[in-house]
Structure 1
Amino acid sequence: MKLFIVTALSAAALFAAVDINSATPEQLQNVKGIGEKKAKQIVAFRETNCFQSLNDLTKIKGIGAKTLEKLKPQLKVGPCRK
């Protein structure tokens, strides 16, 4: 029973949406479609701007409409930390 609970919690953590306004570069890299370079670009953008919606990700070089659609289920926009 304990193994089942641990497995279920681990699976839930894997599928939890990543907050683009607070995630570390490492957390962003866990999103399928975001590598080290894009993760760093997202964090750099966030240092001077807040993401108001997921659509703001298209302001990051290399993230267009098609890529954004693939990323959306894995991401969320939390409160701005500025």
Structure 2
Amino acid sequence: MKTLIHAALFSLFSFTALPVFAQDAPVNINEASVETLATLPGIGAVKAQAIVDDREANGDYASLEDLTRVDGIGETTVSNLSEKATL
């Protein structure tokens, strides 16, 4: 019975920690949803939607610097994304 309780607690804590581990992986800006993009530093819901809209209108981004074609995203934001975003 004790083993069963330990297994249940382990499973519970493993699944609650899963989102924390998932955030360590870089976000692919060419594939990410609005919700995922909004988790990036300096990118909120409005900019995330603008990224998706721009991506749909103009195609995938060839580099992170291409994000500057979105209003409100400048070089500082792009440099802050260098370790959090990928193509």
Instruction: Please report the TM-score for the alignment, with normalisation by the length of structure 2.
Output: 0.75
For these two proteins, the number of residue pairs brought into alignment is 76
Question: Once the 2 structures are TM-superposed, how far is the Cα of residue 5 of structure 1 from its aligned partner?
Answer: 5.3
Cα RMSD (Å) of the superposition?
Answer: 1.7
Instruction: Please report the TM-score for the alignment, with normalisation by the length of structure 1.
Output: 0.79
Query: For residue 46 of structure 1, what is the aligned residue in structure 2?
Result: 55
5+ residue gaps, structure 2, are: 1-6
Query: For residue 73 of structure 1, what is the aligned residue in structure 2?
Result: 83
1:11 is aligned, of 8, 15, 20, to: 20
Question: Once the 2 structures are TM-superposed, how far is the Cα of residue 67 of structure 1 from its aligned partner?
Answer: 1.3
Bigger Rg, which one: 2
Structure 1 outlier segments of 4+, above 6 Å: none
Percent of residue pairs bearing the same amino acid type: 38
5+ residue gaps, structure 1, are: 78-82
